[in-house]
Chains A and B, each alone.
Chain A
Amino acid sequence: MNILEFTILIWLGSLVAGFLGSLTGLGGGVVIVPLLALMFGVDIRYAIGASLVSVIATSSGAAAAYVKEGYSNIRIGMFLEIATTLGALVGASLAARVSTSVIAVIFGVVLIYSAYLSSRPRLDIISDDQPDLLATRLRMDASYPTPEGLQIYHVHAIPAGFSLMFIAGTLSGLLGIGSGAVKVLAMDQAMRIPFKVSTTTSNFMIGVTAAASAGVYLNRGYIDPGLAMPVMLGVLLGSVLGTRVLVSAPSRLLRMLFGGVILVLAIEMIYNGLTGRL
């Protein structure tokens, strides 16, 4: 296989990953690393570098569409980005010290957890909804558009959300993924933010988090242009196509299908990590 064929195959694989990732809301990044490492035999560090780049591309591309709809909350996002960027720098530094087998195993576990989280129905937690003192001080409470008009929401448990975001950032830096699942968990479950707001705000933050890790990866020489090029262009085009058909697609079946693929990839990552093949 020469570079031209290799590039086209990786571009096609990334296109499908980006398409399914955006269609199912799981993000294409989660399957890029296993795809490159398991199917193409790429060293996991190069794979993570290329994946990070694609994460920035899809996040920024999607965020551009989301912000205009008025769901995302810039204040919540910016405040939590302190935690995610700090975490990302820690994670990216860890990546150089931890063996690739360990990274593969952690990757597999996070994949399974992400698939599990996204398979559960997401319901907004309706509570007595007393404003939180810290959230009020930080002016995080806001409103979002619904069919019945603007809905006001209050933000809670900022320290817990902040800590979870630090973990999300660390995983993102270590594994080269957006770790959107952990971010959404922090915002939905801990901070009790309505899920439309948490999904878009999380997506908004993923790009900044990934940029923090990508800087470190670039300086380390983990980002290879020849490999990152087809991955970035493929995932980006795939996710743009995915958002176009979002409305009409039978998303439940697709989610289960993509969830199944992720589970298989996760088990393979763990197996190959444990046997020292990655």
Chain B
Amino acid sequence: MPQTHRPWTDEQVEQIVGNLLRTGVIVAALVVLVGGVLYLVRHGATSPDYQVFRGEPADLRSVSGIVTDALSLRSRGVIQLGLLLLIATPVARVAFSVFAFARQHDRPYVLVTLIVLALLISSLAGGRL
């Protein structure tokens, strides 16, 4: 039976994963930097207050709230979007591994990787144990 595409070797997968991780971190850091500059320009002269824990407002706790805030260029929202991209980088790596193991016809590891991915997504979606 002719194959449509040749399975990837582990080395090729590792190369792609390496690039994916590097790109994710760089993009996230740039977004955080832009948000950080905005934040310091707008709020740099006020006093910091981290001694008493209050927790972040609801809009900085959820994916949709963060995206909304970032789109309206609220500085803390932009930073939080960068942090969200950073958290998403390992998740993207795991998601890619599902695909890579599938191309290698490695069923047990497709299953293993799907379990890890499900745990990660449930965490980001606010699920708790």
Contact = CB atoms under 8 A, between A and B. Distances in A.
A243 interface: no
Interface in A24-53: 36, 40-43, 45-46, 53
B120 A211 contact: yes
Say what secondary structure dominates the interface of chain B. helix
Interface string B76-113: 11011001101111110110010000000010110011
How large, as a class, is the contact surface on chain B?
35 or more
A82 B119 CA distance: 8
Interface in A79-114: 79, 81-82, 85-86, 88-90, 92-93
A39 B53 CA distance: 17
Interface string A226-268: 1111101100100000000000000000000000000000000
A267 B5 CA distance: 58
A8 to B, nearest CB: 9
B109 to A, nearest CB: 6
B75 to A, nearest CB: 8
Interface in A54-94: 56-57, 59-61, 63-68, 70, 72, 74-75, 78-79, 81-82, 85-86, 88-90, 92-93
B3 interface: no
Given A221-B56, A225-B83, A61 B21 contact: yes
B119 A221 contact: no
Interface stretch (A122-130, A148-156, A212-220): A212-220
A6 interface: yes
B96 to A, nearest CB: 11
Interface residues of A, number: 67
A53 B21 contact: no
Contacts of A139: 106, 108-109
A64 B51 contact: no
Most buried by A among B61, B90, B124: B90
15 contacts: A3-B46, A4-B45, A40-B50, A56-B86, A57-B86, A65-B18, A92-B123, A138-B108, A207-B93, A211-B89, A211-B120, A215-B126, A222-B56, A225-B75, A229-B35
Given A2-B44, A226-B39, 10 more contacts: A7-B40, A59-B90, A67-B15, A81-B94, A85-B123, A212-B123, A219-B61, A221-B56, A223-B56, A228-B79
Interface of B: 10-11, 13-15, 17-19, 21-22, 24-25, 28-29, 32-33, 35-36, 39-40, 43-48, 50-53, 55-58, 60-62, 75-77, 79-80, 83-84, 86-91, 93-94, 97, 106, 108-109, 112-113, 115-116, 119-120, 122-126, 128-129
